Amino acid sequence: MKRFLWLVSIILLMCLPVSADFIKWVDFDVPYESLQYAMNVDIDSFEEEQHISWIDILSLAACRTGGKCGLASVKRAARELKQGKVPQELLEAFRYYSYYHEAYSAVLGGLLGSFAICRNGTWVPKYGLKAYSPIAEGYSYSHYDDFGASRSFGFQRKHLGNDLLGNPGTPIVAVEGGTVEAIGWNRYGGWRIAVRSFDGKRSYYYAHLRKNRPYKDGLEIGSRVKAGEVIGYLGMTGYSDKENVNGMNVPHLHLGMQLVFDETQKEGDNQIWLNMYALVELLNGNRSSVVKNEESGEYERVYDIFKPEYPDEMKHITTVRTSSSD
């Protein structure tokens, strides 16, 4: 174990960037099978003496493959980390490890970790997938890899997101907790909402929400939402300069993830948008249970959730720790 920690410390020292410059581009090419395998290794080793992080696994695999991260390379990286050794042939590529580790931490940093679910008034501590599918549990949907496809409304451009086809009115939940940074009408996305993760690295974009009542009541710029919380409803608005128009041919959710390493990347030509196809497949394993409030007509989550990174909720930590010893 000590040798493993020593090797990791040497790697990190060698991987320190030579300048304070920030990452300009991320090509996240990790298939679902590799994500699932690395995640399971992380979860299964959480309570062991040597906890193997899925980000470490994927970063090591990416160094060898140029970021392709096929299942075989991911299994090999996991095996090597379990054995506490770093392959000699990677010594010359450590500078790439630091890039992949920072990039993959930005992509995956909010998806896996410790959290607690409140059931029947008791906080139950857990470790695992803490982000959610954007489609609430019990609602069917389909999706395909249409990231980068051509779009022509307004101007010729690439599709910077993934479409999840479903029924109008399907509750849409926050993939990850964060702060609402954009909400309202957009000629392309129709009724849309953007939620920035609390660490500032990820901005989730949910577009083409339903006509007339697209959002959960009370949401505005600056509102804080939790992972799995209902934020809106699937629809087909957009592609119109006139507000509140169903301009899409098929009801669907446009889901996008933008990475932000520096605020200059938020707008303009330096934006980094990811293909979320594999991530959507992974998140399908964690669907948020919701129920309709007959009085308000809104859908609400069944179980409350607490995570250490949520602002103003540190009061729950004592409860979580106490319940973990039961």
Q: Are 191 and 215 in contact (CB under 8 A)?
A: yes
- Two structure tokens written together for 36: 């699932």
- How far apart (Å, rounded) are the C-alpha atoms in residues 229 and 174? 6
pLDDT band at 253 (very low <50, low <70, confident <90, very high): very high
Task: Output 100 or 120, whichever has higher pLDDT.
Answer: 100
Cα 91 from Cα 117, distance rounded (Å): 42
How confident is the model at residue 18, as a pLDDT? 39
Report the C-alpha gap between 37 and 55 in whole angstroms. 12
What pLDDT sits at residue 87? Answer: 61
213: left (phi over 0), alpha (psi -120 to 50) or beta: beta
Residue 304 has which token pair? 């409350």
Strands (DSSP E) contained in the chain are 112-119, 122-129, 141-143, 150-151, 157-158, 162-166, 171-173, 178-186, 190-197, 202-207, 224-225, 230-233, 252-259, 272-274, 290-292, 299-301, 304-306
Q: What is the pLDDT of residue 149?
A: 82
Q: CA nearest 289: which of 134, 136, 131?
A: 136
Q: Which residue has the higher pLDDT, 272 or 314?
A: 272
DSSP track, 56-114:
HHHHHHHHHHTS---HHHHHHHHHHHHTT---GGGGGGHHHHHHHHHHHHHHHTTTEEE
- Comparing C-alpha atoms, which of 160, 161, 162 is closest to residue 142? 162
List, for residues 129-155, the tens digit of each pLDDT value: 999 999 999 999 999 898 878 786 767
Q: Which one-letter amino acid corresponds to residue 52?
A: I
- Structure tokens belonging to residue 156: 């010729």
pLDDT of residue 90: 59
pLDDT tens per residue across span 217-241: 999 999 999 999 999 999 999 999 9
> For 161-175, 180-194, 292-306, which range has the lowest pLDDT when averaged over its residues?
292-306
According to the model, what pLDDT value does residue 17 have? 45
Q: What is residue 155's predicted lDDT score, i.e. its pLDDT?
A: 74
Distance of alpha carbon 291 from alpha carbon 299, whole angstroms: 5
Query: 26-49: per-residue pLDDT in tens?
Result: 989 999 999 999 999 999 999 998
Answer yes or no: are the C-beta atoms of 226 and 177 closer than 8 Å.
yes
The CA angle 101-50-77, to the nearest 5 degrees, is 45
| Of the options 2.70.70.10, 3.40.50.970, 1.10.150.530, 3.40.50.1110, the CATH number for the domain spanning 141-302 | 2.70.70.10
pTM reported for the whole predicted model: 0.87
d(CA 104, CA 89): 22
63-93 pLDDT tens trace: 888 899 999 999 999 998 998 876 666 555 5
Structure tokens at 235: 């629809």
Locate the domains of the chain by residue range.
2-108, 141-302
Model confidence at 16: pLDDT above 50: no
Return mean pLDDT, the chain: 86
